[in-house]
Amino acid sequence: MLDQIKQWDRELFIYLNSLGVEQYDQFWILVTQEEFWIPLYLFLLGLILYNFKDATSRKYLLLGYLGSFAVTFGITRLIKFSVQRLRPNQVDSLKDLIRVLQEPTYFSFVSGHTSTSMAITTYFVLLFRKRFSWIYFLYLWPFLFASSRIYVGVHYPLDLLAGAILGVSIALLIYAFVKKNSPNLTNENL
């Protein structure tokens, strides 16, 4: 059964990766770079600072922001080095079948780009869903980020799905922890 799932994952990856068009390569290479998203990280920081004036609330919310990233990053690394799944660009039998625009050498499962962006996004959606209806559009970021990883040839679809599940799960836990432990945060202001 596991072999069949891996085969489907491989075939879906080959299909999705083959949809790439050379004229869009530079766009997807840009999207897949963490540095490209620094303005978004700063915007999210600004959302907390602007909307929560109380120093204690800010402290807890900022710790939640950093914690969403750090915990997800750490657990993602542990999983990567435990599972040790090779990236598609490292598999000899795939090299002639796929487009590769990047060649990282560390392991693939789970996707760190997807897990961390989903954790941060979910954390902010939970924080601001009662204040801003547009906050759900923030999920475009992890969707683009994850899609770029298939496009550039470095992740299988299941790497992304597992990363998304991991990121959402950690964000839910961090949010619950922050909400429970911050003395000034209530259901009314979250």
- Do the domain assignments include residue 144? yes
Q: Which residue has the tokens 């609330």?
A: 57
Q: For position 187, what pLDDT does the model report?
A: 61
User: For residue 28, what pLDDT band results from cuts at 50, 70 and 90?
Assistant: very high
- The residues, any chain, with a CB within 8 Å of residue 84's CB and separated by 6 or more, are 107
- Do the domain assignments include residue 159? yes
Residue 153: Cβ-neighbour burial (10 angstroms; 0-12, 13-18, 19+): buried
Q: What is the mean pLDDT of residues 88-111?
A: 88
Q: What is the mean pLDDT of residues 81-90?
A: 93
- Do the domain assignments include residue 87? yes
- Give the integer Cα–Cα distance in Å for 88 and 93: 9
CATH number of the domain at 146, please: 1.20.144.10
- Do the domain assignments include residue 115? yes
Average pLDDT, the chain: 91
CA dihedral 144, 148, 150, 156 (to 10 degrees): -60
**Best-predicted range by mean pLDDT (20-24, 37-41, 70-74, 85-89):** 70-74
Closest by CA to 102, choosing from 146, 143, 154, is 154
Q: For position 136, what pLDDT does the model report?
A: 96
Decide which of 105 and 190 is more confident: 105
- Do the domain assignments include residue 148? yes
Say how many domains are in the chain.
1
- Give the integer Cα–Cα distance in Å for 111 and 155: 7
- Give the integer Cα–Cα distance in Å for 79 and 57: 32
User: For residue 188, what pLDDT band results from cuts at 50, 70 and 90?
Assistant: low
What three-state secondary structure class fits 98?
coil
Residue 72 pLDDT greater than 70, yes or no: yes
- Do the domain assignments include residue 190? no
- Give the integer Cα–Cα distance in Å for 111 and 40: 20
Range of the domain at 111: 51-181
- Give the integer Cα–Cα distance in Å for 168 and 81: 21
Residues in the chain: 190
pTM of the model: 0.90
Q: Which H or E element spans position 101?
A: none
- Do the domain assignments include residue 126? yes
Cis previous bond, 110, omega within 30 = yes
- Give the integer Cα–Cα distance in Å for 151 and 165: 20
Q: What are the strands, taking DSSP E only, across the chain?
A: none
Q: For position 190, what pLDDT does the model report?
A: 62
- Do the domain assignments include residue 172? yes
**17 is written with which tokens?**
């990766």
